[in-house]
Amino acid sequence: MILVTGGAGFIGANFVLDWLALHDEPIVNLDVLTYAGNLQNLSSVWNDPRHVFVKGSIADYDLVEELLRSHRPRAILNFAAESHVDRSIHGPEEFIQTNIVGTFRLLEATRGFLAAQDEAFRKSFRFLHVSTDEVYGSLAPVEAAFSEDRKYEPNSPYSASKAASDHLVRAYHHTYGLPVLTTNCSNNYGPHHFPEKLIPLVILNALSGKQIPIYGDGMQVRDWLFVKDHCSAIQRVLESGKVGETYNVGGKNELTNLSVVNTLCEILDELRPLPHGASYKAQISFVRDRPGHDRRYAIDAAKIERELDWRPSETFDTGIRKTVEWYLANDAWVENVTSGSYRQWIDRQYR
């Protein structure tokens, strides 16, 4: 049995689906179901006896303690997080509560649980903390990509809260001997992505005939990682990662935001063409840049490639086409997540 936190969100749900497709080992899935947590992501495994869903927060110490005591998982994979930079700028407190306080209480409950177990169980147990490359700050145009020994320089409330959670995980390993692993990933994309992030936002706005907003000049650079590749990397780290180590996970796809948007428009022009040969690119609109917008992220994934023999399977060209095709084929999912509150948020953010 493994315990997954945040398993109804974008990355967590993809991990749950992939895990159950590949393993017989059951999952206890703990998710508080905020706006980004969607049970529809898990519809294909809802009646699977290997999947036990529990609604609740990682900040609820008593609940986590009870789950650990009753299920005795051999590993915890912590995906639970508030993760949208824009939302952290407008309302940072939720990010502090979930990403810092929540991680602290999860660690505390885990520490108490392990103290009551025998040495063999403690030795085989793992606490895998899923984090982000944004904790490293922003890179200059020709600067070397983020490696695991890069100093932390977070620039948004979101990245600062994730940096704090990473430090807590490290501290619990060095102080209490908790058997931890940490992964720092680049920008994920793929199925079930909540449509406030760039790629799903572009797809849905384009199809709805709305403006496609691009912050600033669109020259911000990100390394794009297909979510299924990220999930395979996490499984590999769980299986073979060295306790106490950090592994950066990247897709080897450095692209500007404008390039990503143009690519999406070109795929949509092909798969869902507009009348009279018009292009979705005509809907692109440059909007005021967000405060403190990091200019470039890039991941050096040499360590996980060298030590754990992991590499991404998808190129950006193959992964982005699969992503667009998924959104075109899942109208019901899109309709469900794009509620009134979502539309109000988008209108306020990009007005």
134 is catalytic: yes
Helix axes 103-115, 157-176, angle to 10 degrees: 20
| Residue 133: active-site member | yes
Q: Please tell me the distance from the alpha carbon of residue 131 to that of residue 284, in angstroms, as a whole number.
A: 31
User: Is residue 196 among the annotated active site residues?
Assistant: no
DSSP bridge partners of 181: 128
For 314, other C-beta atoms within 10 Å of its C-beta total 21
Q: Which of 82, 86, 134, 294 is catalytic?
A: 134
In the set 82, 133, 196, 223, the catalytic residue is 133
Catalytic entry in 31, 82, 158, 166: 158
Query: H or E stretch including 184?
Result: strand 180-185
Two tokens at 229?
A: 């590749």
Phi/psi of residue 166, nearest 5 degrees: -60, -45
> Which amino acids are annotated catalytic?
133-134, 158
